[in-house]
Chains A and B, each alone.
Chain A
Amino acid sequence: DVKVTQSSRYLVKRTGEKVFLECVQDMDHENMFWYRQDPGLGLRLIYFSYDVKMKEKGDIPEGYSVSREKKERFSLILESASTNQTSMYLCASRHHVRRGANYGYTFGSGTRLTVV
């Protein structure tokens, strides 16, 4: 069964801490994504990566960075956590769009981050 695995289901961190959220996929997907989900705001794209060492800003990149050193792993980094980054974080992956083939997204089970 193909999977996107997020290393933590729940995290509690203090304001100012550096936080790492890890995501691993076993489907050899080129593209990986980080979203956050908040009540009333839906899912918003933070960053995505279309290949190793490549990254693109999404709609709300401020306060975040990412790392993609290996194809299967995409890390989201909160440089200095703040209370407004308390949220559900969702990782997703998919194959890159190819001629005649558009692929669906596979999501992980989410990380509920609370910053106190």
Chain B
Amino acid sequence: KQEVTQIPAALSVPEGENLVLNCSFTDSAIYNLQWFRQDPGKGLTSLLLIQSSQREQTSGRLNASLDKSSGRSTLYIAASQPGDSATYLCAVGGATNKLIFGTGTLLAVQP
């Protein structure tokens, strides 16, 4: 059974820092991995989608990498801003057509 873990569970950084969020999964037979952002009381906003054949994806200040063989993905946020404060979720998709979510990392960027 696929399990997805995110470390750390919470992170507080000063504005301007570069930071890395980690996601690990137990079954490497995935089709893709998706990173989401969730603001308090709101739905999920898709940030980046990485296909199993890809190593990384970039969007603005965000860069996500995927190492399928080791069961790891990282989300790199450059020059963090207070507006980046949110919960970040990773999720893996596989043959079952289901999305398995990690537990999330709560990020606080201090002005």
Contact = CB atoms under 8 A, between A and B. Distances in A.
Given A42-B104, A48-B98, A105-B99, A90 B93 contact: no
Interface residues of A, number: 24
B87 to A, nearest CB: 10
Interface in A63-95: 88, 90, 92
A9 B31 CA distance: 32
A102 B32 CA distance: 7
A107 B52 contact: no
A25 to B, nearest CB: 13
A110 B97 contact: no
Interface in A1-50: 6, 31, 33, 42-43, 45, 48, 50
Contacts of B52: 102
A58 B43 contact: no
A48 B32 contact: no
Given A42-B101, A97-B97, A102-B32, A107 B51 contact: no
Contacts of B43: 6, 90, 107-110
A102 B99 CA distance: 12
Interface in B29-58: 31-32, 34, 36, 41-46, 49, 51-52
A104 B49 contact: yes
B97 A48 contact: yes
A42 B102 contact: yes
Contacts of A48: 97-98
A55 interface: no
B103 A105 contact: no
A6 to B, nearest CB: 8
Contacts of A110: 41-43
Interface of A: 6, 31, 33, 42-43, 45, 48, 50, 58, 88, 90, 92, 96-97, 102-110, 112
8 contacts: A42-B104, A43-B91, A43-B101, A88-B41, A92-B44, A104-B32, A105-B91, A112-B41
Interface of B: 31-32, 34, 36, 41-46, 49, 51-52, 89, 91, 93, 97-99, 101-104
